[in-house]
Amino acid sequence: MALTLTSINRYPIKSCRRDEMPQAEVEPWGLSGDRRWMLVDDEGEVVTARERHQLLLVTPVLDGTALRLHAPGRPSLTVKVPDGELATVTIWKSRIAVMPAAPEAHAWFSELAGMALRLVYLDDPMRRRPSPRFSAAGDRVAFADGYPLLLASEDSLACLNRWIAEGPRASDGPLPMTRFRPNVVVGGAAPWAEDGWRRLRIGEVTFRAVKGCDRCVMTMIDPDTLRTTKEPIATLARYRRWGGATWFGMNLIPDGVTAGAIIRVGDPVEILKEVDASDGPPR
% of the chain at pLDDT higher than 70: 100
What CATH class is the domain 4-30+131-274? mainly beta
The rounded distance, in Å, linking the Cα atoms of 116 and 144 is 22
| Beta pairing, strands 149-153 & 184-187 | parallel
pTM for the model: 0.96
Nearest-angstrom CA–CA distance, 169 and 190: 25
Summarised one tens digit per residue, pLDDT across range 66-92 is 999 999 999 999 999 999 899 999 999
The domain segmentation of the chain, as residue ranges, is 4-30+131-274, 37-126
Are 59 and 17 a contacting pair, CB within 8 Å?
yes
- Rg over CA atoms, the chain: 18
**pLDDT at residue 175, as a whole number:** 98
Rounded to an integer, what distance in angstroms lies between the CA atom of residue 129 and that of residue 125?
9
Say whether the peptide bond before residue 174 is cis (omega within 30 degrees of 0): yes
Which pLDDT score, from 0 to 100, does residue 202 have? Answer: 98
Buried b (16+ CB within 10 A) or exposed e, 64-94: eeebebebeeeeebebeebeeeeeebebeee
Tell me which residue of 66, 42, 52, 65 sits closest to 15, measured CA to CA: 52
Average pLDDT of the chain, as a whole number: 96
pLDDT tens track for 214-238: 999 999 999 999 999 999 999 999 9
pLDDT in tens, 25-51: 999 999 999 999 999 999 999 999 999
